[in-house]
């Protein structure tokens, strides 16, 4: 039992990891630290301006969204499809948020045209995901509901932006 930990409350003995397991864990920690040191986002966080960091954030999240779409399109059909769609929609929303923040930092509040374009791209992807999952009638109802709610939100964003100017 040597270095094993005894938990009297749970009445269990927790075995210490083997030497091989410790070596694997240490190698993984070293690899993770090396990766972190060379990661563009980490380097930018140390030295870049807010706008540069937002550009990198937007790029990385867009790559993740593209990867999620690839997984959805070419991965196995399973119960994870809904989760992939949800993660992609959240990633696309993060890209839209970063784009709006960049625009605001670089040029003030975004124009209504920019807001409408970003909202349209996000809406189109949500509708496409709905069509991939639901039957035609349900997808049509989803599209109408999403477009109605998103258009109202876009109007609010434009009103907020124009009140700041």
User: What's the pLDDT tens digit per position in 101-136?
Assistant: 887 788 766 677 877 887 888 888 888 888 888 888
The residue ranking higher by pLDDT, 27 or 113, is 27
Domain-located, residue 80: no
Is pTM beyond 0.75? Reply is no
Domain-located, residue 42: no
Domain-located, residue 138: yes
Range of 135's domain?
A: 109-165
| pLDDT of amino acid 164 | 59
Q: Which token pair is 145?
A: 């509901």
Give the integer Cα–Cα distance in Å for 18 and 77: 38
Domain-located, residue 162: yes
| pLDDT of amino acid 32 | 85
Res. 155 pLDDT band, cuts 50 70 90: confident
| pLDDT of amino acid 137 | 92
| pLDDT of amino acid 1 | 47
Domain-located, residue 18: no
| Average pLDDT of span 52-69 | 85
Largest CA distance in the chain: 70
Give the integer Cα–Cα distance in Å for 154 and 165: 17
Domain-located, residue 122: yes
Q: What angle do the packed helices 40-47 and 19-38 form, to 10 degrees?
A: 50
Res. 4 pLDDT band, cuts 50 70 90: low
Domain-located, residue 91: no
Domain-located, residue 26: no
Structurally, the chain folds into a number of domains equal to 1
């Amino acid at each position: 039992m040597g270095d094993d930990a005894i938990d009297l409350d749970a009445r269990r003995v927790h075995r210490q990891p083997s030497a091989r397991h410790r070596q694997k864990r240490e190698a993984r920690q070293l690899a993770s630290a090396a990766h972190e040191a060379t990661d563009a986002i980490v380097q930018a966080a140390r030295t870049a301006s807010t706008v540069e960091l937002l550009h990198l954030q937007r790029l990385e999240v867009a790559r993740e969204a593209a990867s999620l779409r690839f997984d959805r399109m070419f991965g196995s059909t399973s119960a994870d499809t809904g989760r992939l769609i949800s993660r992609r929609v959240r990633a696309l929303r993060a890209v839209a948020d970063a784009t709006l923040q960049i625009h605001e930092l670089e040029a003030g509040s975004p124009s209504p045209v920019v807001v409408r374009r970003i909202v349209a791209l996000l809406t189109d992807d949500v509708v496409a995901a709905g069509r991939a999952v639901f039957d035609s009638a349900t997808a049509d109802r989803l599209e109408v509901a999403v477009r109605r709610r998103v258009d109202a939100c876009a109007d609010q964003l434009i009103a907020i932006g124009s009140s700041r100017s």
